[in-house]
Structure 1
Amino acid sequence: MLLYKLWRSFIKEILLLKRDIGGIVIIFVMPLLLIVTITLIQDSTFKNMEGSKIPIIFIDNDRSEISESIKKQLENSKTFELLTDFNEKSAEKAVFGGDYQMAIVIPKNLTKDINSNIDSKVQSIVSSFGLETDSSAIKQNTSKAKDIRLYFDPATNISFKNNVMNAVNKMVFEIENKKIYKAFQDQLGTTEDLKNSSLIAFKEITPQKENIDVLPNSVQHNVPAWALFAIFFIVVPLSINLVKEKSQGTSVRARISPTPYFIHILGKTCTYLIICVIQFLLMVAVGIYLFPYMDLPQFDVTGKMLPLIIVTIFAGLAAIGFGVLLGTVADTQEQSAPFGATSVVVLAAIGGIWVPVFLMPEFMQVIAKFSPMNWGLNAYYDIILRNSGIGGIAEEIIFLFLFYIAMVAVALFYERKQNAV
Structure 2
Amino acid sequence: MLLYKLWRSFVKEILLLKRDIGGIVIIFVMPLLLIVTITLIQDSTFKNLEGSKIPIIFIDNDKSEVSKNIKQELETSKTFQLLTNYTEKSAQEAVFSGDYQMAIVIPENLTKDLNSNIDSKVQTIVSSFGLEGDTAAVKKAAPKAKEIHLYFDPATNVGFKNSVMNSVNKMVFEIENKKIYKAFQDQLGTEENLDENKNLISFKEITPKKGAMDVMPNSVQHNVPAWTLFAIFFIVVPLSINLVKEKSQGTSVRARISPTPYFVHILGKTFTYLIICIIQFLLMVAVGIYLFPYMDLPAFDVSGKMFQLIVVTLFSGLAAIGFGVLLGTIADTQEQSAPFGATSVVVLAAIGGIWVPVFLMPEFMQTVAKFSPMNWGLNAYYDIILRNSGIGGIAKELAFLFAFYIAMVAISIFYERKQNAV
Q: TM-score when scaled to structure 1?
A: 0.94
Per-residue Cα deviation, 1:373-409 (whole angstroms, up to 9, x for no partner): 2221111111101101112112221221121111111
User: CA–CA distance in 2 between the matches of 1:260 and 1:390?
Assistant: 33
Shift of the 89–312 alpha-carbon distance from structure 1 to 2, 3 Å rule, reads same
User: CA–CA distance in 2 between the matches of 1:14 and 1:167?
Assistant: 60
Shift of the 137–43 alpha-carbon distance from structure 1 to 2, 3 Å rule, reads same
Per-residue Cα deviation, 1:246-282 (whole angstroms, up to 9, x for no partner): 2222222222233222222112112221221122112
Q: Which position in structure 1 is the counterpart of 2:111? A: 111
How far the C-alpha of 1:46 sits from its partner, in A, is 5.9
User: CA–CA distance in 2 between the matches of 1:228 and 1:222?
Assistant: 10
1:136 lines up with 2:142 in the alignment: no
Amino acid at match of 2:136: S
Q: Which position in structure 1 is the counterpart of 2:229? A: 228
Secondary structure (helix, strand or coil) at the match of 2:217 reads: coil
Equivalent positions of 1:306-325 (< 5 A) are 306-325=307-326
- For structure 1, which segment, 156-165 or 166-175, has the greater mean C-alpha deviation from structure 2 after superposition? 156-165
How far the C-alpha of 1:77 sits from its partner, in A, is 1.0
Shift of the 211–95 alpha-carbon distance from structure 1 to 2, 3 Å rule, reads same
How far the C-alpha of 1:169 sits from its partner, in A, is 1.3
Amino acid at match of 1:95: V
User: CA–CA distance in 2 between the matches of 1:390 and 1:170?
Assistant: 44
The question of whether the paired residues in 2 share the 8 Å contact of 1:347 and 1:371 is answered with yes
The question of whether the paired residues in 2 share the 8 Å contact of 1:177 and 1:196 is answered with no
Amino acid at match of 2:80: F
Q: Which segments of 5 or more consecutive residues in structure 2 lack a partner in the other structure?
A: none
- For structure 1, which segment, 279-288 or 29-38, has the greater mean C-alpha deviation from structure 2 after superposition? 29-38
Per-residue Cα deviation, 1:309-342 (whole angstroms, up to 9, x for no partner): 1100110000100111011111222322232222
Equivalent positions of 1:201-216 (< 5 A) are 201-216=202-217
User: CA–CA distance in 2 between the matches of 1:51 and 1:101?
Assistant: 18
User: CA–CA distance in 1 between the matches of 2:42 and 2:147?
Assistant: 34
Q: Which position in structure 2 is the counterpart of 1:9? A: 9
1:412 lines up with 2:413 in the alignment: yes
How far the C-alpha of 1:361 sits from its partner, in A, is 4.2
User: CA–CA distance in 2 between the matches of 1:171 and 1:37?
Assistant: 40
- For structure 1, which segment, 408-417 or 294-303, has the greater mean C-alpha deviation from structure 2 after superposition? 294-303
Q: Which position in structure 2 is the counterpart of 1:276? A: 277
Q: Which position in structure 2 is the counterpart of 1:288? A: 289
Secondary structure (helix, strand or coil) at the match of 1:49 reads: helix
How far the C-alpha of 1:37 sits from its partner, in A, is 3.1
User: CA–CA distance in 2 between the matches of 1:99 and 1:27?
Assistant: 44
User: CA–CA distance in 1 between the matches of 2:120 and 2:48?
Assistant: 42
The question of whether the paired residues in 1 share the 8 Å contact of 2:120 and 2:142 is answered with no
User: CA–CA distance in 2 between the matches of 1:44 and 1:170?
Assistant: 31
Secondary structure (helix, strand or coil) at the match of 1:124 reads: helix
Q: Which position in structure 1 is the counterpart of 2:349? A: 348
Q: TM-score when scaled to structure 2?
A: 0.93
* Alignment: residue pair count: 421
- For structure 1, which segment, 19-28 or 361-370, has the greater mean C-alpha deviation from structure 2 after superposition? 361-370
User: CA–CA distance in 1 between the matches of 2:139 and 2:291?
Assistant: 69
User: CA–CA distance in 1 between the matches of 2:43 and 2:138?
Assistant: 56
The question of whether the paired residues in 1 share the 8 Å contact of 2:101 and 2:152 is answered with yes
Q: Which position in structure 2 is the counterpart of 1:385? A: 386
- For structure 1, which segment, 21-30 or 396-405, has the greater mean C-alpha deviation from structure 2 after superposition? 21-30
